[in-house]
């Protein structure tokens, strides 16, 4: 039985994730260069291992290239049930958040989708109210979906440089929302991760923010 087919019972833990997308070609100020993918994947996998993520847990994330899909793959590898949340219809989302990277990210999106429940914001929540940002609304939706099982069950994992994003609704926004609610925060600080692979392997650059 795949993650997509499993009924959503009350999970032991909620593994909520947010993190940077892979940099678009020619990005002026690098944030998540493609060559750092293996470092990020290793840090995410190690974090899930350290908190003993497994088949009794529910993983919630977006579907963008980079952090989201790396987390989705790692969660599925540990047998967790996976839910993907996207702020636009699938075609629009792929154009904005997946297809600008190498073609293999598109394949990885569909591979994750096959083993997940895909939640599409305009389909399930309707049209966005005037003045509301779709990325911020998607962040809030993911957090609300996590909170439905109890705030004390949430482990928030973020792959983040500690700065604001390129627009509304990035990892900083969700970090602020989680801090104002509940849960345990595991911050994978890319300022350190990108520059010290040996420290990543030893788990030295994960910041606990209870």
Domain count, the chain: 1
| Inside any domain, residue 9 | no
Q: How many CB atoms lie within 10 A of CB 159?
A: 27
Q: Is the pLDDT of residue 166 over 90?
A: no
| Inside any domain, residue 141 | yes
DSSP conformational letter for 35? G
How would residue 204 be classed by pLDDT, with cut points 50, 70 and 90? very low
SS (H, E, C) 149-196: CCHHHEEEEEEECCCCCCCCCCHHHHHHHHHCCCCEEEEEEHHHHCCC
Whichever domain contains 150, its CATH number is 3.40.50.450
| Inside any domain, residue 8 | no
The pLDDT value given to residue 158 = 96
Q: What is the mean pLDDT of the chain?
A: 89
- Are residues 13 and 80 in contact, defined by beta-carbon separation less than 8 angstroms? no
Residue 71: domain span: 14-208
Give mean pLDDT, residues 101-116: 95
Residue 106 CA to residue 84 CA, distance in Å, equals: 14
Q: What is the pLDDT of residues 30-69, one digit of tens each?
A: 899 999 999 999 999 999 999 999 999 999 999 999 999 9
């Amino acid at each position: 039985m795949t993650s997509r087919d499993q009924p959503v019972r009350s999970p032991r833990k909620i593994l909520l994730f947010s993190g940077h997308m892979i940099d678009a070609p020619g990005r002026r100020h690098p944030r998540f260069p493609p060559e750092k993918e293996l470092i990020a994947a290793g840090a995410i996998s190690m974090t899930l291992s350290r908190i003993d993520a497994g088949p009794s847990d529910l993983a919630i994330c977006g579907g963008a290239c980079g952090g989201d899909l790396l987390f989705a793959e790692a969660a599925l590898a540990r047998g967790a049930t996976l839910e993907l949340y996207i702020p636009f219809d699938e075609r629009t989302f792929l154009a904005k958040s997946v297809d600008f990277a190498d073609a293999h990210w598109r394949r990885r999106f569909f591979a994750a989708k096959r083993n997940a429940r895909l939640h599409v914001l305009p389909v399930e929540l309707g049209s966005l109210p005037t003045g509301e940002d779709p990325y911020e609304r998607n962040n809030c939706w993911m957090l609300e979906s996590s909170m439905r099982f109890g705030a004390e069950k949430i482990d928030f994992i973020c792959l983040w440089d500690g700065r604001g994003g390129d627009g509304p609704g990035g990892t900083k926004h969700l970090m602020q929302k989680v801090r104002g609610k509940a849960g345990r925060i595991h911050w994978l600080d890319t300022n350190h991760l990108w520059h010290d692979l040996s420290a990543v392997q030893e788990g030295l650059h994960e910041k606990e923010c209870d």
